[in-house]
Amino acid sequence: MYLGIDLGTSEVKAVVIDAEGKLLALAGSPLTVSRPHPRWSEQDPQHWWRAACDTVASLREQLGAARFAAIRAIGLSGQMHGAVLLDAQERVLRPAILWSDSRSTDECAELTRRWNESGDLHQLAGNLAMPGFTAPKLLWVARHEPQLFDQVACVLLPKDWLRLRMTGRKTSDPSDAAGTLWLDVAQRDWSDALLAAGGMHRGQMPELADGNAAAGFLLPEVARAWGLADGVVVAGGAGDGAASAVGIGAVRPGDGFLSLGTSGVLFVVNDKFRPNPARAIHAFCHTLPQRWHQMSVMLSAASCLRWFCRLCSVDEKTLLQEVAALDDEALANAPLFLPYLSGERTPHNDPYALGVFHGLSHEHQRAALAYAVLEGVSFGMVDGLDALRAAGTDVQQLSLVGGGARSAYWAQLLSDALDVRIVTHIGSEAGGALGAARLAWLADGGNEEEVCCKPPQQDCYEPRRMRHAQLQPRLQRYRDIYQPWKPLPSGSA
């Protein structure tokens, strides 16, 4: 059996699969995000460790201690871009700065200036300098917390800090490392030029191992605490996007998926490095050898629906039922919603972008606003797909994963808006944790063709031409609304 642990933003999720890929157990433990100042997002890594231990304990209880002890390898997946700063004694120096943190806007401009002076390093990094990435975070620390910056001996990504606690080794994988802006993505190795531009050096970076390679062994004290045998392999693992791709079987060029989690991701596998930073498209390494991927990212996706449910004190199931009952006239006259609750990456690269309800009247009830939220996120995905197409990548079918995959209504709306077939899979709720477990299986000698098969199809949603045409005027108005808001500084309304 194989254990996959996914360190997300809102929870640590873990699964156990057997040697036929069957999902045997799933568990999770919640996490909270600290926002001590506007545009800040932080978490205490110690909370990750406690949540991971609690989740493992829940899996052990589900399977029974004797059966759980048969696990042969562990894989890791995690939220990308987060900065865990360690001193020379491997002590955490400050709370981890997360992917959704946008305080480092000025540092992005500074990093871009340094890249241009050094010969346009954008193509090397494969991405624009955005506040969510790791390198600008360290420039911010150097500027605002210089005494702490001077103590930084190593920077780890979130899942890799868990690995340090588990194995005593500082290791990352190319898919996660590509999100730092310190990696030569084509060569799948740290870039001395990119590191120097960010005020860092290679000695502060972890080792690199492909996601399907053995990257350490569980420490004896951790094995005892978790009820596992000595010598359990820990795989290289992956950033959450690449891990979800492995979980859904998106491992060959042209394969793709759409993830509706806290953020929204469109992910397509490539056989070579294909950067297009001008459109705010991410070009990263896949976690498997000799593969890359392009990705569009919107910072708020299913989290927009959760936010609206909290505002209205209603559960998602009830709200979605109300939305499904709306007639065509109500849909045509619904408000429009810009889903920029945390700023936006693709296609705007605008940390100051704001969420907007546009076109409200006394006649609108909460169901119409809820529809606008679903539609606004779907339109954000359309913007992402258009950016991918401009970068030379097109798809006809996408697998849908993440919390949003539970809604048949939203899946059909996405298919209509994108004009692409949407497929859901049995077990897709396991997401990155399933991919992490599969990477553990590969590290234990599994065959890629067998391990990385696509899970059984659950439902298929074909785009409806008439509905696609009806959405086009609303899509254009949605795009027009953003423009007047774009120049507003942070805090304006």
pLDDT at residue 263 tops 90: no
For residue 490, the model assigns a pLDDT of 46
Q: What is the pTM of this model?
A: 0.85
CA distance 175 to 145: 29
* Beta strands in 170-308, from DSSP E residues, in sequence order: 171-172, 183-184, 189-190, 207-208, 214-217, 233-235, 238-239, 256-260, 264-270, 282-285, 292-298
- Read off the pLDDT of residues 423-477 as tens digits, 9 standing for 90 and up: 998 877 777 899 999 999 999 999 999 999 988 899 999 999 999 999 999 999 9
* Beta strands in 8-126, from DSSP E residues, in sequence order: 11-17, 23-30, 42-43, 73-78, 84-86, 96-97
For residue 119, the model assigns a pLDDT of 80
> Where is average pLDDT lowest: 256-260, 326-330, 390-394, 453-457?
390-394
348 appears as a binding residue in the annotation = no
**Torsion of Cα atoms, 333 then 339 then 343 then 349, to 10°:** -80
CA distance 175 to 109: 24
pLDDT at residue 292 tops 60: yes
Q: How confident is the model at residue 376 (pLDDT cuts 50, 70, 90)?
A: very high
Strands 189-190 and 183-184: antiparallel
- Read off the pLDDT of residues 34-62 as tens digits, 9 standing for 90 and up: 999 988 999 999 999 999 999 999 999 99
Average pLDDT along the chain: 93
- Read off the pLDDT of residues 186-201 as tens digits, 9 standing for 90 and up: 999 999 999 999 999 9
For the segment 63-72, the average pLDDT, to the nearest whole number, is: 97
CA distance 341 to 348: 14
For each of the domains in the chain, give its residue range(s) and CATH number, in order of start: 2-248 (3.30.420.40)
Q: First vs last Cα of the chain: how many Å apart? A: 53
For the segment 321-340, the average pLDDT, to the nearest whole number, is: 96
- Read off the pLDDT of residues 306-329 as tens digits, 9 standing for 90 and up: 999 999 999 999 999 999 999 999
Q: How confident is the model at residue 491 (pLDDT cuts 50, 70, 90)?
A: very low
Q: Of the listed 160, 173, 240, 444, which one is catalytic? A: 240
- Read off the pLDDT of residues 81-107 as tens digits, 9 standing for 90 and up: 999 999 999 999 999 999 989 899 999
pLDDT at residue 488 tops 70: no
> Where is average pLDDT lowest: 71-75, 188-192, 274-278?
274-278
For residue 484, the model assigns a pLDDT of 60
pLDDT at residue 184 tops 60: yes
**Is residue 315 annotated as part of the catalytic site, yes or no?**
no
80 appears as a binding residue in the annotation = yes
For residue 485, the model assigns a pLDDT of 57
